[in-house]
Structure 1
Amino acid sequence: MGLLERCQELFKTASLYEVLGINKEANEAEIRRSYYKVSLKVHPDRAPDDPLATEKFQVLGKLYAVLSDKEQRAIYDEQGLVDEESDVLNQDCCWEDYWRLLFPKITVQDILDFEKQYKGSEEERKDLLQLYTQHQGDMDAILASALCSSQDDEPRLGDIIRAAIKSKDVEEFPAFAQESDKKKRARRKRADRERQEAEEMQKELGLGQEDESLMMMIKQRHASREQNFNSFLSGLEAKYSKKGGKPSKRGKK
């Protein structure tokens, strides 16, 4: 039975995108995040009461392997078909090892240590001023992209920018210097809403404060950090996981 047929049988839809709850225009980060969320729900270790959990988990692994491969995704998008003979699917693969390679277990303390080292560093200042220039002083865009920051960091980041303007390291953009109080209040309200959504997702996935899930920790602490999500993840994966990103082969018995 092919991948699409298995999706229909196990998830009640033959659409790879619908299985992950995303649309066809989803980018790589959205696909990756959705795969994590859905696969975590059916992970054999987390779904002991689901007799089909292992099968669902394996099918999700194959589904993600297809959508994360540019060539295979193009074929599926254009023809609605999956090349079952492709190297992506036609191998004896341990999907648990593949999942663990993509989402290595990193402790909450690892994340906190990274943040502690990054915040207040010259690297953070450099990144912040680059974002300030790139977005021409738009604090909405800057805070949505700044790594390891939340709405609570806005006063501190603003001070860094103002000091850089004073020292003429960057120019003063009207969007920053003349930002209205109304826009600041709207940003705070939006941040509060995102925090609430992250907490609801945590409850939905059954994760506690001590959970070691890297992806959930980043989602919970940096709900709107779309631009730097992948770079942060890649840096930690490089430190904690082995090289390579393709499904690993397991010797046939």
Structure 2
Amino acid sequence: MGLLERCQELFKTPNLYEVLGVKKDATEAEIRRSYYKVSLKVHPDRAPEDPLATEKFQVLGKLYAVLNDEEQRAIYDEQGVVDEESGILRQDRCWEDYWRLLFPKITVQDILEFEVKYKGSDEEREDVIQLYVQHQGDMDAITASALCCSQEDEPRLCSVIQAAIDSGDVKAFPAFTREGEKKKKARRKRADRERQEAEEMQKEMGVGNQEDSLVMMLQQRQKSREKNFNSFVSDLEAKYSKKSGKPKRAKK
């Protein structure tokens, strides 16, 4: 059974882009990020209750390998077919190793270094504006999804958004421009609670250095926002995994 047929069987659509939830004109970065998120949901170690998890994971690996290859993607886009004889789809490939090569585990030091470069950058601005449009101005959702975001960062993010509104780059969503003080206070209270719980966890476990504190903060944040898939670490792994891990195109 070919890749498209397997997609239909396992994901109810033969369209490679629809499986990942992206548009046909999606960028390489968007496809990579969506592949990470979808594959994480069916990773055999994370979804043991799904008897088809391993098969889905392998199919997603093949799907991404096709869309990540310039030549193979062009063939699929133009003809709607996949070259099943291509070396990138060879049967003996370990798709778990392929996935880990693309998304190596990040370290606390990686996070610390990234945060310094990211905050205040053009990249952060683009991400914040994208989140603003995606969530139609809902600051609860924006701050929960933004990378490297704490309560102290909110005024800065609001300034970025307001500047984009003033310049006409984005529309003014009422959820942002008319947000009430009650909702803002609730968000601050929630952030304070997360910080306090993280501090209490630190004391209980007897940790006190910067790296341990950051780990505790991230763990508590993810616990508090467990329903939000765009957790800090997940987004960071998906978007900023080492570029050197990108596999080379197989020769025919």
| TM-score clears 0.5 | yes
Aligned to 1:18: 18
Distance in 2 (alpha carbons) for counterparts of 1:70 and 1:201? 37
Aligned to 1:164: none
Deviation at 1:101, TM superposition (A): 1.0
SS in 1 for 2:89: coil
Aligned to 2:89: 89
Distance in 1 (alpha carbons) for counterparts of 2:16 and 2:4? 8
Structure 2: state its 5+ residue gaps: 131-145, 188-221
Deviation at 1:247, TM superposition (A): 7.8
Distance in 1 (alpha carbons) for counterparts of 2:29 and 2:225? 17
Contact 1:98 1:247 in 2 (8 A): no
Contact 1:35 1:60 in 2 (8 A): yes
Deviation at 1:26, TM superposition (A): 1.4
Deviation at 1:186, TM superposition (A): 3.9
Structure 1 residues 65 and 183: alpha-carbon distance in aligned structure 2, compared to 1, 3 A threshold? same
Deviation at 1:113, TM superposition (A): 2.1
Deviation at 1:201, TM superposition (A): 8.3
Aligned to 2:2: 2
Deviation at 1:64, TM superposition (A): 0.4
- RMSD of Structure 2 on Structure 1 (CA): 4.7
Aligned to 1:101: 101
Structure 1 residues 201 and 52: alpha-carbon distance in aligned structure 2, compared to 1, 3 A threshold? farther
Aligned to 2:52: 52
Structure 1 residues 187 and 100: alpha-carbon distance in aligned structure 2, compared to 1, 3 A threshold? farther
Aligned to 1:203: 227
Deviation at 1:246, TM superposition (A): 2.1
Aligned to 1:78: 78
Deviation at 1:117, TM superposition (A): 4.7
After superposition, where does 1:204-219 map in structure 2 within 5 Å?
205=229, 214=233, 216-218=234-236
TM-score, normalising length from structure 2? 0.57
Aligned length: 189
Contact 1:43 1:57 in 2 (8 A): yes
Structure 1 residues 17 and 188: alpha-carbon distance in aligned structure 2, compared to 1, 3 A threshold? farther
Deviation at 1:142, TM superposition (A): 9.1
CA distances 1:91-149 after superposition (whole Å, capped 9, x unpaired): 52110011111111124x33542256548xxxx7xx74xx49xxxxxx96596499856
Contact 1:44 1:53 in 2 (8 A): yes
Contact 2:42 2:57 in 1 (8 A): yes
Deviation at 1:73, TM superposition (A): 0.7
Aligned to 1:222: none
SS in 1 for 2:246: coil
State yes or no: 1:246 paired with 2:229.
no
Structure 1: state its 5+ residue gaps: 133-138, 159-174, 220-228
Contact 1:143 1:149 in 2 (8 A): no
Aligned to 1:41: 41
Higher RCO (C-alpha under 8 Å, 6+ residues apart): 1
Contact 1:22 1:31 in 2 (8 A): yes
Aligned to 1:110: 109
Contact 1:11 1:19 in 2 (8 A): yes
Contact 1:94 1:247 in 2 (8 A): no
Deviation at 1:54, TM superposition (A): 0.6
Which piece of structure 1 moves more, 54-63 or 24-33?
Answer: 24-33
Aligned to 2:29: 29
Structure 1 residues 201 and 30: alpha-carbon distance in aligned structure 2, compared to 1, 3 A threshold? farther
Contact 2:69 2:249 in 1 (8 A): no
Aligned to 1:68: 68
Identity of aligned residues (%): 59
TM-score, normalising length from structure 1? 0.56
Contact 1:66 1:73 in 2 (8 A): yes
